[in-house]
Every structure is written in structure tokens, then in C-alpha cells.
Structure 1
């Protein structure tokens, strides 16, 4: 006998979802599970996966598998009526529609697939009523937000896995990615001659990365291969939302462009939630709750917003924001780049972007300055982790300062980051930012801001072994510090110039510069600076064969108590065992 269902044949086969299909089916078929909800952002393929799962379970539900499209059901009160219509159930004079539907389903092993529930969440109680009365009924829901029922088991659907790092040059490794597999299959449907080759594999991989692995975005992009080779397509993805249009005519209208797919979710938000969503686009790589509050609370207060945390939770529930649990219990929130593009459009249209960017840069400046101090002490590890997570935000802020010719804030930020770049080995990147900012016409004034940046650039050049550049940068910085009468800056430049002189073999000049630096640092009670200067003076004394003086300076440096130098001094002492330094009395 033909099994009861209303599932229609699908024009394409499911790509890259075998794992999710198997696991979701296992969850739904557990005796205690009655309701599973597929959640996820626009374009992740929730509906396609639900249809594939429903088809795979036809044998398990012999009394019926029914797909109920709720996309056009605008009134939550009509959900029961839509389900009943799909099943061919009609109310009678003596029995209301819900009662009739319950009578039909009460003892039948039926699977209902309720598609696109996110805009009618108020109808969730009708789902609960059906489950409470119909003991054999199971329901699979697709929704960008959970129904928040006690029956519910939420099953998040994520974007397709992307190629691993380092795989771009290897066709065999690139094609292992489900995202790439989907692109290739859809590209060949649009252009039969298309093939993944050694010449285009890295470009196709990057296209999929730029599209966050979103199936809808990948399908829309692949269709463009009729006109654009992968390299040209990739170049145009700088404006993703303008390129990802003209989806298949048999798709729902809201899925024919990526912008419309995201707008559908955006329109379901309250006004305050829309404001928060758009303003989060200012962050290039996500944010913590504290960062969001610091940057946006003033803006949101103007529109009477709900607390930031509640707003973030709502955006996560609506699949517009992703929540990431960090070590130590901290939580970070980030957007897929395709969604962030749409959020940024709304922010620009709102006219709030300038004020918000000012708050964002001020927050990052404060963060960088706090971390700069922490890098010199026992909190170094935590500070490095913080700066690692914020590095893309910091890069975005530096890029904006360059593009907008805002030399002052850009130089302040870059100067505050030099130790981070030094510890992480980002010498070239740090020097490039500083050089470009120092070259801005608005950054030429002989101020403390410029001097700090020159000192930072000189330190990075010194540690990268570019002594000529380091000398030039530190000499200019020293001249400005002396003009300003700034002892702290003067001491910093003198210390590096002394280290440069030592490296050239000019021990007398090195000693003079380092001792002058040490004098200032002692006056300022700069423990870390004292330790550093004494350490370098120990190096000079060792080079001159003054072993007793070298030992005294090394150990005085250790006693000064700056932890980064203490460890170096002890290591050097152990490495020198057996030399005159270790033996001298």
C-alpha cells in the first residue's frame, strides 16, 4: 500500500549533511522525544534538511509524514487551521477544529514537519496542546528561533564545514569540504564545463570562506559561474549582498537573494533589537557583553532599550548572533560576515555610525592601554589572550584611522600595541601600521603622540634586527621627548639607543646612554625599566670582560622584581655556568 505523506520530490540532493541527518533522526526517534526544532541563521538549509529527514523516516511513520509550510501563515491563530488543511481535516458543527485534529491524530504514528515557525512563535502553545493529547505524534519544526516549550529539543543547524587551513593548494583536500562540494555541484549545474582544478581550488575555497559556508549564499554564488570565473567572483564578493541575488524562480521569494533572507529575520525583531543588531556590526570580530555595553549603551539608552544582555540573548535566539563560550567562563558574541554586512547597511542608514565608531575606538584604546601595562607583569598571559581575541577589531580600528586620516588616535592605538606585536612576533605588521600612520600629514606634529609611536616603531625595528631603521626612529623620538621635557619618554628612547650601541660594539656609548636612562628610571621608580636597563648594562659589562660588574648588574636587575626580566636573568646565569662570570668572586 502507498504510504501516507505529502512530500514532494526535491530538485537537488542534500550535500554535506549526512552527519546531521543521522544524529537528528536518532534524537527524534528516542521514545522520550516528541518535538525537535531545527534552528539556525537564514540560508543554513534547515528546510532542506528537514525534508530529507522526513523522507528518510517514511517507513518509521506508516500512518503519515506531512510537511506543513507556515511561511505564508501570518496570524498565529491560524496555525492549527493550516495543519488541519494539510491533513484534510475539517471542523464540524459539534467539534471545533483543534478538537477534530486531536481526534484524528490521537493514536496515530504521524510525523508533522512544521516549516518556517519563527514569525508565529505565539502559536507554540497550539503545538504543545497537540503533543499533550496525541501520544504517538512527533513534530519536527524549522525556525530561526526556538519555540521555548518544555517538549522541545533544539537542534542547531550550522553552516557547512569549510576547507581546513593549509588545504587551499591541494585540490584533494579542498574538495573534502562540504561547502566546496556544494559550490562545485551547483556551479556545474549552471556551467557544465566548470571543474575544480589546481588553478582555481584556492579561489573556490576562499569564496566559500567569504560566504561563511552558508548553503544559500554558496548556491547563489555558484550560479554566477555562468558569467564569472572564480577569481572574478571572489573580487566581487567585497559587496556580497549585491552579488548574491537572482536565485532560482522556484525558491520562495525571501530566499532568492541573501539580503532578503536576512531581512526576513531582521523584520521579526523589535525596534530596540534592530538597533542593537545594527550597532553590533561595528565590531569586526565579535565582542563580549562588557564591550557591547561600553560601546553601545549610550546609543541604546536614547531609544529606551532593554538591557544589553537581554538584547544579545534575543539575537542569539533569532540566529542572528552566535554565542561562543571562552575559557574562564567569559562569553563572546559574533556575527557571520554575511549577516554583519546586512547589519552594517542598517547602521549606515541609521546615521549613527560616526558616534558609534568614536565610542568603539575609545573602548579599544582603553583596552590596549590596560593590556600594555598588564604585559609587563604577572597578568601577561591573560592580557595576551584578550588582545589575541580582539586583534581583528584592533586591526579594523587601525585601518579606519588610516583611511580617515585620523593620525592621533591611530598612533595612540598602535603605540599601545607594540609590546603585543613584539611578544607575538608580529614585527612586520606592527611596523607597517606605525609607518603608515606616522606618514600621515596629520601625524607630523612633534607631539608626545608622535614620539610614543616613533619609540614603539624603533623598538620593533630593533627586535627585528633592523638596526639602521631603529636608530633613525629612536633618534627622532628622543629629540621630541627632549623638546617636550618628558623624562619617561627620554629614558625609553635612551635605553633602546644604548642597546643599539652595544650591538654595534660601541660599549662606551652604550654604557653612557644606558646609565642616563637608568638614572631617569630610578627617579621615576620604574621597576620594570630599572630591571631592563640593568640587564642591558650587564650585557655591556660582560662584553667588556668586567665579570664582577656584569654579575652585580644581572642580579640587581633580578632584585628589581620585574618578572619578565627575572626569568631571563636566571636563564642567562644558568647558561653562563662554567664561565668567568659564574666563577668570579
Structure 2
């Protein structure tokens, strides 16, 4: 039987087609097997490869369709039928076929070989006795023949899996659009693109699932299709009459694979569905009771696959199918969930020290690989109020999330956990878990600009620490007193912040808590800098950096470099400041810490602005803005607004400056960020000086210059703007008074700069 003509476009398989052709042309690889789960697109890929290869061979390609047979003895007859040979005697059938092929140059394409895998030796005999024959096979299971070259077929590239391609050029999106337009010609592609991308990501680029999902476009909006798929797989059932019965639904395909398994294999496969984002062999053994032969069998049948680095993964739709099988046995699912929770909570707890010092980067990447499993285990522990497990995992989990800068996720995670344990009966285990959860909740509330919530969390945690006679855990920012210090620093209460920090430093020395020694020194350096004590600031910051280096701590090193960079800015050493911020950026990139990546970039942008390298500054601020927007970090976003405002003022873009400064002042006041508020007042003063009159600008300058919470970068801008022989006088009044004054100035400026403001908004 000749290869059927193409009836639809094949999307995104150019690399695979090139590999198949290359190996079919290699005399040592005359057998190529395309292996993968049902619905992954093996047949479409193989048909196209067979057409292309057959067109270049003397006798073309032959298609042998095995989908309707399940006895390996029938393969010879099906092959003979495809070759149009009349078999005279079953005992000599293979000899007749071999004789027929001996003088030919042809490709034999066997489709759906997994149903007759025992017939694999037949292909070996054909290749041995027919030197002009090559074979192409699709199967869910490898043939295990010497000449076999295996290509593992995966889903099509999706927007998430192929970031180099834009949304409209990745294969999964193209396939969906092609199929959806056939049933709904008026589909608005651009408008629906985010939902189409989501659909393709949910099904992990599985072509059959994409086609079935697209077939619903005539009845449902793309957003509805995506929502339905997130709930269950029932939507992935086709009513198209020309679709083969075995491809009418995703579950029908998976049931075919399940029919090939032993009872033990079925049980293990169902248990493996508990894993999210892949798993290691050790996890499979411990959690699901798997062994190496069972894992090998499931891999052979394409239900799981080796993902590299000792990990396995399951296609999400296959995993959901397995989860449905597991759910049919309530006792078994309970045991598996408990095993999974225990395994990954212990996994976190064991990495507490290496995550904190010495092997932080490697450990963070190790946890990242298991992030979905860790999240699932954590949620199970919270839902079941497992206080000892939460107490052992809270600190390393919080530290890991901080390294990755996932503050929005952390806020929800620890807020929910705190509420759960606050509602529990008070006992030592529950109280210990709550004390540690509150520390993390305070940390991330502080980072998100929720200062009152952070204050409450630290106060409650301190009370519990005292009642339990608990010492601070080993880690960064684990002392409630340190939390108070950061809160006071943020609110502009510099002397109170110094007092809290000195207490932390004294206790840290007594307990040899070197991480808190480093953090306390870094914060004291920051506070000294705000007081204009540059030598003291440098000494504290260098002590913090040295302490981190001695312990092998790497992540906090970046923040020490940030402070040293700020000292260099205060002294006007822009090249040295750039070097420190660059080192900070490089360290944070190792950790994939998007928060400090954004901070280092905005600091570099501020230095570039002061050095009048305005194009460099604009690009750095834009890069930082992207990082903070992704994080949902309000404080970081305000810092970018500050940098953009200063850049706009410096370059005379008054309309843009007004826009940035109005938003910055509102955000800084709302979040109680005194230094940021003063920074906004300085830039507003500069804008007023340029657009209205000198005296109004000086009113703001004098207040900002004299205030104890004014940070080094703001002071550096003041020095650049105010002439040395015209130092501003310190006026009377509070911060609130000057905020009101600045708002009044902005209201006047808005009337005077209407056209420039309109132009900046339009851009």
C-alpha cells in the first residue's frame, strides 16, 4: 500500500524530519522507531517522513497499517497485502517477502507496532536479508532491536516551551488556529491568543488534544475551552465522523495503553500520578512503591519518560488519567498522599543548611526541579495541620521562595498557613509551627509593602518565641527584632532601627548566628549611610560581606554589594558603584533571584543617570521594570518609578516626569516608605525648580537634605542639582506637611504642562 497523501499541514516537525531522514540514510540505522504516547503525533510525523524519503528511493515507500490487528502472527500477512504479494504457503511467507524485497530499494513504514510487539524479530530478518530495505516504525514501545534508532516524539512547541518563538509562530498555536478556523472562520485570533496559548500549555502541545479542543471553537469561546480543560479532560472527546474510533477521545487512547500493563504496573502508574513536574527514581520507589523493572516497563510503553538528570516525567494529560485511576481507591490515595508529603517535607528539611550556606545555588536549583512536588506536599501538610512537618519545612521553604523572588506566591502561601494554624488548639507543636510561619509571613509582607501586617506578624512571632523559649532558626531574617529593625528603617525611624539592629547583633554574637551578624551589619551600614556616616557605613557593609564570604553564604552577598555601591554613590565614585552593582547582578542571576536582579538593574540605572549616560539608564530601568512587574513587588516598582522620574527630570521630559512623580508619591505615602517619599519630594523639587520658581523648589530641597531618612542616592542628586555656594536652608514642618506642599506644586504644574503631559501619556 502506498503512503497516503497528506490531508492537512504538519506543523513544527522540521527538526524531527531532518533527524529521521539522516538516520534512514545511515546504513547502520536502517530501522527508525518513533516512540511516544498515543495522540502525540507519531503517525502524522511518520507519514510525512515516509513521503519525503520514499520520493527519493527507487521503489518508493510502503505503508503497513497495523491498528486493526492484535496478533503478531498476522503481521506477515498484512505486510504481504501491502506489498501486493500472494502468499502461497504460510510457512514460507517470510521467505517469499524477502525474495520479493531483495532486488528492491524501498521503505517499509509500520504504523502502531505496539499491538504486535512480539513480531519485532520479523523486521530484523527483513533488514538482514533485504539490503535495499529500510524500516520506519511508530509504536508506544521500543522494538529492542540492534539496528533500531529511537526518536522520542514529544508534543509540539508551545509559547511556554519555546520562548524564542513568539506566540503566533510556535507549532502548537498554529495547529490550534488552523483547526479552529475550519469550524469558526470568524475567530478573532489576536483577541483570543492568550487563551489559545493557555490551551496549548495545558495539553503540553499534544496534537490530538489540540485538534479536539479546537473542534469546540464553534460552540465555546477559547477562554471557555481553556477553563474547561483546567477542570477535567472530558472536553477532549471528538464527535468528528472521520476520526478513527481509537482517536475519538484522549481517555480511549490511554485505556489502550493501560490494557498492556500488568496489575502491578497499573497500580504503580496510578500512584505515580501524585507527582507534579516529574520525579526521581528514589521518589518513585519511596512514594509509589515502584522498582526499576516497573519504571522501565512504563517507560517502554510511553506512559512515563526519562527526562534526563535522573528524572522521569509524565505528560500532564496522562498524569490526570492516572490520578483518576488512583481516585478509585480512597485508601490507596490517602496512603500515597501521606507518603508524598513526608518525602518532600523531609527533602526540604534536609536542605535547610545547604540552602542557607555553602551550596546555596546548587541546592536552590535542586529544589526548583521539585518545586511543584514541594508545593503539593506543603499544601497537604497545611490542609492536614501537620505541625511538625510545617515547622521543619517553613524556614527552608521561605528561604527558597525568597531566593527566587516569588513574593506574590509567598504572600498567599504563608498568609493561608498562618490563618490555618492560628485556628488550631494551642500546644507546643502548633505554636512552634505558627511562630516560624509568622516569621515568613512578616518577611514577605514587608517585601510587598504591607508594613502593618508585617509588624503584627513579627510581634505575634516574638511572643511565641518567648513563650516557647525558642531561639531564632538558622537562616536569614529569622529574628523578629531584625524584622522590627527593617520596619523602622522603612518607615524612617532611623534611631529605633539602629537600636533594634544592635540588639540583634549582640544576640547573634552570643549565639554565633553568623548570618544575623551579617544582616545586622549590613542594615547598620545602610542606616549609617542615611546619617551621612560614610566611613562607618563602609565598615559595616564590608564586615557583612566578609562574614558571608567566610561562611560560604552567597545570596546575601549581592545585597552587601548593593550597600557598598550606595556608599560609592554618596562619595561620587560612579565607576566603583557600577562595579559593586554589577557583582550584585551577577550573583542574583546565579540564583535566578528576579527581585535583586531588578534592584541591581535599577541601581545601575541610577548611577548611569548621575553619570549622564541617559540611554544606558533608560534601558536598565526598562529591564528592571519588567522584572518587578512580573514579581508584583510594589516597593521595587516604586523604586523603578523613582529612577524613571529622575531620568525624565534630568533629560527635560517634564510631562513624563510629572506622570512618574505623581504615581511615585502616592505609592510611597501609601506604603509608608519614608525614604522613597523623600526621594519623590527631591525630584518634585527639581521639577518645580525647572518649571516654576527657585524658592518653591528650595522649600522641598531644604527639607529633604536635612531629613534623617534621606538615602544616599537622593543626597547624591541633591549635590548634583544644588550649587555648593547655595546650600538650602532647613525649613520647619513635618514630612506630611511637605507631602501636601509637593501635591500642591504638582497640581499647579499639571495646569502649566498640559500639552507635555498629554504627549507623554500618548507615548
What TM-score comes out, normalization by structure 2 length? 0.66
Query: 1:233 Cα deviation (Å)?
Result: 1.3
Q: Among residues 147, 153, 157, which one is paired with 2:143 in the alignment? A: 147
CA RMSD across the alignment: 3.4
Residue 361 (structure 1) aligns with: 341
Query: 1:49 Cα deviation (Å)?
Result: 2.5
Residue 336 (structure 1) aligns with: 315
- Distance in structure 1 (CA, Å) of the matches to 2:216 and 2:537: 69
Q: CA 1:555–1:240 in 2, change beyond 3 Å: closer, same or farther?
A: closer
Q: Mean alpha-carbon deviation: is it higher for 484-493 or for 269-278?
A: 484-493
Query: 1:334 Cα deviation (Å)?
Result: 1.4
Q: Among residues 364, 369, 375, which one is paired with 1:384 in the alignment? A: 364
Residue 692 (structure 2) aligns with: none
Residue 83 (structure 2) aligns with: 87
Residue 256 (structure 1) aligns with: 248
Q: Are 2:201 and 1:185 aligned?
A: no
Q: Are 2:280 and 1:295 aligned?
A: no
- Distance in structure 2 (CA, Å) of the matches to 1:374 and 1:238: 36
Q: Mean alpha-carbon deviation: is it higher for 259-268 or for 413-422?
A: 413-422
Q: Is the 8 Å Cα contact of residues 157 and 205 (structure 2) preserved in structure 1?
A: yes
Q: Is the 8 Å Cα contact of residues 365 and 413 (structure 1) preserved in structure 2?
A: yes
Query: 1:504 Cα deviation (Å)?
Result: 4.2
- Distance in structure 1 (CA, Å) of the matches to 2:538 and 2:10: 71
Q: CA 1:448–1:131 in 2, change beyond 3 Å: closer, same or farther?
A: same
- Distance in structure 2 (CA, Å) of the matches to 1:75 and 1:118: 11
Q: Is the 8 Å Cα contact of residues 70 and 116 (structure 1) preserved in structure 2?
A: yes
Residue 131 (structure 1) aligns with: 127
Residue 295 (structure 2) aligns with: 312
Q: Among residues 428, 433, 458, which one is paired with 2:442 in the alignment? A: 458
Q: Are 2:224 and 1:211 aligned?
A: no
Residue 480 (structure 1) aligns with: 464
Give SS of 1:487's match: coil
- Distance in structure 1 (CA, Å) of the matches to 2:22 and 2:537: 71
Residue 425 (structure 1) aligns with: 405
Q: Mean alpha-carbon deviation: is it higher for 352-361 or for 12-21?
A: 12-21
Q: Among residues 463, 467, 481, which one is paired with 1:494 in the alignment? A: 481
> Per-residue CA shift, 1:110-138, capped at 9, x if unaligned?
32111111132222111111111111112
- Distance in structure 2 (CA, Å) of the matches to 1:402 and 1:411: 11
* Matches for 1:101-112 after TM superposition, within 5 Å: 101-112=97-108
Query: 1:441 Cα deviation (Å)?
Result: 6.2
- Distance in structure 1 (CA, Å) of the matches to 2:388 and 2:137: 53
Q: CA 1:441–1:188 in 2, change beyond 3 Å: closer, same or farther?
A: same
* Matches for 1:400-415 after TM superposition, within 5 Å: 400-401=380-381, 409=389, 413-415=393-395
- Distance in structure 2 (CA, Å) of the matches to 1:557 and 1:8: 71
Q: Mean alpha-carbon deviation: is it higher for 520-529 or for 202-211?
A: 520-529
> Per-residue CA shift, 1:213-243, capped at 9, x if unaligned?
1111111111212321212211111244211
Q: Is the 8 Å Cα contact of residues 421 and 434 (structure 2) preserved in structure 1?
A: no
Query: 1:285 Cα deviation (Å)?
Result: 0.9
Q: Is the 8 Å Cα contact of residues 415 and 452 (structure 1) preserved in structure 2?
A: yes
- Distance in structure 2 (CA, Å) of the matches to 1:463 and 1:347: 40
Q: Mean alpha-carbon deviation: is it higher for 17-26 or for 272-281?
A: 17-26
Give SS of 2:370's match: helix
Q: Is the 8 Å Cα contact of residues 491 and 518 (structure 1) preserved in structure 2?
A: no
Q: CA 1:250–1:545 in 2, change beyond 3 Å: closer, same or farther?
A: closer
Q: Mean alpha-carbon deviation: is it higher for 488-497 or for 247-256?
A: 488-497
* Matches for 1:166-205 after TM superposition, within 5 Å: 173-191=166-184, 193-205=185-197
Q: CA 1:11–1:404 in 2, change beyond 3 Å: closer, same or farther?
A: farther
Aligned residues: 560
The structure whose RCO (Cα within 8 Å, separation 6+) is larger is: 1
Structure 2 unmatched runs, 5+: 574-763
> Per-residue CA shift, 1:39-96, capped at 9, x if unaligned?
1221122122222333334443444532212223322233223322333434446962
Q: Mean alpha-carbon deviation: is it higher for 375-384 or for 270-279?
A: 270-279
Q: CA 1:100–1:537 in 2, change beyond 3 Å: closer, same or farther?
A: same
Give SS of 2:190's match: coil
Q: CA 1:67–1:500 in 2, change beyond 3 Å: closer, same or farther?
A: same
- Distance in structure 2 (CA, Å) of the matches to 1:556 and 1:86: 80
Q: Are 2:321 and 1:321 aligned?
A: no
Give SS of 1:38's match: strand
Residue 230 (structure 2) aligns with: 238
Q: Is the 8 Å Cα contact of residues 488 and 521 (structure 1) preserved in structure 2?
A: no
* Matches for 1:364-375 after TM superposition, within 5 Å: 364-375=344-355
Q: Are 2:35 and 1:39 aligned?
A: yes
Give SS of 1:203's match: helix
Q: Are 2:333 and 1:349 aligned?
A: no
- Distance in structure 2 (CA, Å) of the matches to 1:26 and 1:509: 72
Q: CA 1:149–1:502 in 2, change beyond 3 Å: closer, same or farther?
A: same
Q: CA 1:91–1:354 in 2, change beyond 3 Å: closer, same or farther?
A: same
- Distance in structure 1 (CA, Å) of the matches to 2:396 and 2:369: 16
Q: Is the 8 Å Cα contact of residues 528 and 536 (structure 2) preserved in structure 1?
A: yes
Give SS of 1:242's match: coil
Q: Mean alpha-carbon deviation: is it higher for 449-458 or for 206-215?
A: 206-215
Q: Is the 8 Å Cα contact of residues 414 and 430 (structure 1) preserved in structure 2?
A: no
- Distance in structure 2 (CA, Å) of the matches to 1:233 and 1:573: 52
Residue 418 (structure 2) aligns with: 438
Q: Is the 8 Å Cα contact of residues 108 and 136 (structure 1) preserved in structure 2?
A: yes
Give SS of 2:136's match: strand
- Distance in structure 2 (CA, Å) of the matches to 1:68 and 1:94: 18
Query: 1:568 Cα deviation (Å)?
Result: 5.5
> Per-residue CA shift, 1:430-467, capped at 9, x if unaligned?
12211122122664455010011111111223344433
- Distance in structure 2 (CA, Å) of the matches to 1:372 and 1:537: 27
- Distance in structure 2 (CA, Å) of the matches to 1:21 and 1:82: 26
Q: Mean alpha-carbon deviation: is it higher for 539-548 or for 54-63?
A: 539-548
Q: Is the 8 Å Cα contact of residues 458 and 470 (structure 1) preserved in structure 2?
A: yes
Q: Mean alpha-carbon deviation: is it higher for 109-118 or for 537-546?
A: 537-546
Q: CA 1:548–1:237 in 2, change beyond 3 Å: closer, same or farther?
A: closer
Query: 1:17 Cα deviation (Å)?
Result: 3.3
Q: CA 1:390–1:513 in 2, change beyond 3 Å: closer, same or farther?
A: same
Give SS of 2:109's match: strand
Q: Mean alpha-carbon deviation: is it higher for 505-514 or for 196-205?
A: 505-514
Give SS of 1:96's match: helix
Query: 1:98 Cα deviation (Å)?
Result: 1.7
Q: CA 1:166–1:214 in 2, change beyond 3 Å: closer, same or farther?
A: closer
- Distance in structure 2 (CA, Å) of the matches to 1:150 and 1:55: 25
Q: Is the 8 Å Cα contact of residues 438 and 444 (structure 1) preserved in structure 2?
A: no
- Distance in structure 2 (CA, Å) of the matches to 1:578 and 1:198: 46
